[in-house]
Structure 1
Amino acid sequence: MSLSMYGASVPVLRQGLQNLQTILTKAVEFADNKKVASDVMAASRLAIDMVPLSRQVQIACDTAKGCGARLAGVENPSVADEEKTLQELQHRVEKTLGFLSQLSPEQFVGSEDKAIQLNFPGITLNFKGQDYLQQFVLPNFYFHISTAYGILRHIGVDIGKKDYLGAIGGV
């Protein structure tokens, strides 16, 4: 049996977000134990010209929900980027997971050939659904989750590869 667009997207994005949630939970515990303000951690970044942890999480969530919405042919929920604390970022991830859980495999049938257009300042990207998933969504999603992981690990949060990968292979 071939891999469906739903199977290649929603479960993968959900797992990545669940792992991000685990990492954020450990960050909250770290902040509490070290008496570091949650908003200070959310504003942390690896380099001065990179966006902070809060934006990394927002973009990962936006990428996941945008993918689900576009491929399923449903409205992409608009979410204001107002999170300033780790707890608010956790809530953002929860809302995104909730949205993805409402999508069904049937909504993705035929989406591999669906025209997808993304408009950014100064550039418009046009894809077929499968290329959108493989060439844009998944690399972008993992980039921002990896960067969030890197920021928190750099701060000193006790996380490792197992936290980033989560349960794999039924383990």
Structure 2
Amino acid sequence: MSITPYDLSTPAFQRGFTVLAKLLDKAEAFAEDKKIKPEILVNARLAPDMLSLAGQIQRMSDTAKGAAARLTGTAAPSFADDETTMADLRARIEKTTAYLASVPEAAFEGAEDRTVVVKTRGGELSSSGKDYLLTFALPNFYFHLTAAYAILRHNGVAVGKLDYLGRA
């Protein structure tokens, strides 16, 4: 059995967004129960210099879209980072997962050997598709999913490890 770049990326990203949507369900229920505006959670952050919940979700989206595009040599859709409500965040998740679903598995053929260039604040990073996926895209995606989980947990939303892992 061989595992392809598609196998390691698209299904993992889609599952991560499914987990995230369930975390948002719990966040909305928490906000309703505590009679707080859900936007308080949307704007919550763990530290002053960290992204808010909205920012974490935007980076998850950008990472997943960017990975699919870079690995297939295509262009990703651009989304404005203007989400301010839970509904906005859910729409971002839906647009991202719809894009991921639109990229055919066959487009990932040869992705492990494709040269991928990522522009960062510190300059350009160039690597093989395999290295990009395993050492940048997946860790970055899960970093932001973990941060989103931690923001909700820190603010009192009753989420635990199995919520993060997603029940299979």
Partner Cα distance (2:50, 2:121) in 1: 18
Alignment of 1:155-166 (within 5 A): 155-166=155-166
Per the alignment, residue 96 of structure 1 pairs with 96
Equivalent position SS for 1:46: coil
RMSD: 1.1
1:35 corresponds to which letter in structure 2? K
- Cα shift at 1:119: 1.1
1:2 corresponds to which letter in structure 2? S
Partner Cα distance (1:74, 1:93) in 2: 20
Alignment of 1:55-66 (within 5 A): 55-66=55-66
TM-score scaled by length of structure 1: 0.94
1:78 corresponds to which letter in structure 2? S
**Deviation string for 1:99-145 (max 9, x for gaps)?**
11112211000010111111123311111100000000011000000
Question: Which has the higher mean CA deviation after the structures are superposed, 136-145 or 96-105?
Answer: 96-105
Partner Cα distance (1:18, 1:41) in 2: 19
Q: Which runs of 5+ in 1 are unaligned?
A: none
Does 1:73 find its partner at 2:37? no
**Deviation string for 1:62-92 (max 9, x for gaps)?**
1011111111222110000000112211111
Percent of residue pairs identical = 45
- Cα shift at 1:31: 1.2
Question: Which has the higher mean CA deviation after the structures are superposed, 145-154 or 22-31?
Answer: 22-31
Partner Cα distance (1:132, 1:96) in 2: 20
Question: Which has the higher mean CA deviation after the structures are superposed, 14-23 or 70-79?
Answer: 70-79
- Cα shift at 1:25: 1.4
- Cα shift at 1:33: 1.8
Contact 1:45 1:52 in 2 (8 A): yes
Contact 1:27 1:86 in 2 (8 A): no
**Deviation string for 1:32-64 (max 9, x for gaps)?**
221211222111011112111110110011101
- Cα shift at 1:167: 2.8
Partner Cα distance (1:94, 1:165) in 2: 20
Per the alignment, residue 134 of structure 1 pairs with 134
1:13 corresponds to which letter in structure 2? F
Per the alignment, residue 145 of structure 2 pairs with 145
Partner Cα distance (1:154, 1:121) in 2: 29
Does 1:85 find its partner at 2:71? no
